[in-house]
């Protein structure tokens, strides 16, 4: 049993990574259907939250069925991060998570996200201020370091643990490394195997299917895995990983009927949460992933991208079903 504060997870939890414009409540709903053990909101700007910016506040939304759920915040100003953590705590999540991993240039340039890896003393000071300001468990998601010359994650993890975080998720790349560079799990393993570490250590990076999950679990000793890109159009990945770890057998790939069933659930949730027009528009980014690998799907994808009503989307999906069933 893995515990984050008083939150009990299973023996080897599989987490859904927080991803901007991807892990909204409709998508989290379908990931939970297939066994995501812990999920996080999209990352939320501390400055936006304390200014009551509508987009930031909307990201606090979650359903009870999503628990345990963490709200992830990011920022560069310590006072703003403290206020944002307290604001987020009032939404009553299970965890407050701090994003020290976002590599996006405009975030990093302000010293937020992975940018703070250039200033470890400030990182520690900010984390302690957030931990001391809320009653909920605080966790951190970060990277190996800022660049190849500063892979300081073993020291960073220990220092953050010592000022009170309850778990850490480590992405196996530096801020400057591109996604095409394989994640360096050796350093993640070094953190976990540090005899001074007492909190759960989760690994992230290149967990794209059941086989990769088993490899990382067996070789690096982490307490659980966080899935990011591997979940695109594939909320089934959680059940696939768990089944493979338990039995050594692969679950069959979801067929067209299952893909349409689940994507329609996400569509319905998207329209309920955002309103029909915005819900249809914002689910568009998922269509290519849901039906990736289906030959001659392009005409359907074009129609899905052009649809502006829920019924138009449903009718197009049913047309696709007739072709591929």
Mean pLDDT confidence for 178-189? 92
Q: State residue 97's pLDDT score.
A: 98
Q: Are 107 and 113 in contact (CB under 8 A)?
A: yes
Residues 73 and 212 in one domain: yes
Q: What local confidence, expressed as pLDDT, does residue 323 receive? A: 84
Closest CA to 231 of 286, 179, 293, 282: 286
Domain boundary among 247, 279, 296: 247
Mean pLDDT of 281-304: 92
Residues 231 and 318 in one domain: no
Q: How far is CA 277 from the centre of its chain?
A: 26
* pLDDT tens column, 113-146: 999 999 999 999 999 999 999 999 999 999 999 9
Domain count, the chain: 2
Could you tell me if 108 and 220 lie in one domain?
A: yes
* Res 194 pLDDT > 90: yes
If you ran DSSP here, which 8-state letter would residue 38 be given?
B
Same-domain pairing of 9 and 63: yes
Distance from CA of residue 314 to its chain's centroid? Answer: 28
Task: Give yes or no: residues 281 and 167 share one domain.
Answer: no
Whether residues 242 and 262 fall in one domain: no
Computed over every residue of the chain, the mean pLDDT equals 95
Contact between 171 and 101 (Cβ < 8 Å): yes
Q: What is the pLDDT of residue 1?
A: 87
Is the predicted pLDDT of residue 324 greater than 90, yes or no? no
271 flagged as catalytic = no
pLDDT for 180 equals 86
Confidence of residue 325 (pLDDT cuts 50, 70, 90): confident
Of 10, 31, 102, 271, catalytic: 102
Instruction: Identify whether residues 173 and 231 lie together within a single domain.
Output: yes
Domain CATH code at residue 116:
3.20.20.70
At 232, the pLDDT band (50, 70, 90 cuts) reads very high
CB 62 within 8 A of CB 16: no
| Final residue before a domain boundary, out of 247, 264, 290 | 247
Tell me: do 171 and 311 sit in the same domain.
no
Which residue range forms the structural domain that includes residue 285? 256-324
Q: Are residues 98 and 243 in the same domain?
A: yes
- Dihedral sign, Cα of residue 202, residue 265, residue 314, residue 209: positive
In tens, the pLDDT along 32-78 reads 999 999 999 999 999 999 999 998 999 999 999 999 999 999 999 99
* For range 95-108, the mean pLDDT: 95
Question: Do residues 235 and 315 both lie within one domain?
Answer: no
Residues 261 and 124 in one domain: no
Q: What percentage of the chain exceeds 90 in pLDDT?
A: 93
Q: Are residue 289 and residue 163 in the same domain, yes or no?
A: no
Cis peptide before 68 (omega within 30 of 0): yes
CATH of the domain at 284: 1.10.1200.80
247, 268, 302: which is the final residue of a domain?
Answer: 247
């Amino acid at each position: 049993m893995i515990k984050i504060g008083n939150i009990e997870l299973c023996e080897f939890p599989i987490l859904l990574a927080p991803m901007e414009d991807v892990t909204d409540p409709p998508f989290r709903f379908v990931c939970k259907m297939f066994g995501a053990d812990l999920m996080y909101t999209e990352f939320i700007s501390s400055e936006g939250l304390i200014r009551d910016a509508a987009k930031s506040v909307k990201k606090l939304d979650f359903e009870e069925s999503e628990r345990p759920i963490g709200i992830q915040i990011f920022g560069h100003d310590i006072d703003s991060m403290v206020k944002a953590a307290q604001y987020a705590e009032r939404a009553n999540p299970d965890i407050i998570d701090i994003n020290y991993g976002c590599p996006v240039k405009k975030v990093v340039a302000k010293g937020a996200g992975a940018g703070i890896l250039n200033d470890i003393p400030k990182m520690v000071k900010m984390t302690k201020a957030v931990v001391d300001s809320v009653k909920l468990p605080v966790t951190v998601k970060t990277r190996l370091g800022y660049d190849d010359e500063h892979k300081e994650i073993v020291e960073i993890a220990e220092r953050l643990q010592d000022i009170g975080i309850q778990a850490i998720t480590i992405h196996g790349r530096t801020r400057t490394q591109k996604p095409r560079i394989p994640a360096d799990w050796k350093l993640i393993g070094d953190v976990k195997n540090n005899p001074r570490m007492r909190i759960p250590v989760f690994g992230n990076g290149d967990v794209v299917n059941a086989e990769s999950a088993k490899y990382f679990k067996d070789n690096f000793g982490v307490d659980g895995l966080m899935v990011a890109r591997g979940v695109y159009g594939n909320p089934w990945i959680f059940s696939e990983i768990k089944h493979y770890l338990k039995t050594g057998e692969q679950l069959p790939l979801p067929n067209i009927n299952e893909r349409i069933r689940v994507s329609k659930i996400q569509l319905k949730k998207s329209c309920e949460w955002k309103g029909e027009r915005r819900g249809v528009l914002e689910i568009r980014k998922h269509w290519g992933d849901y039906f990736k690998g289906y030959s001659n799907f392009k005409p359907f994808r074009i129609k899905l991208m052009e649809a502006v009503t829920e019924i138009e989307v449903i009718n197009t999906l049913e047309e696709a079903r007739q072709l591929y069933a």
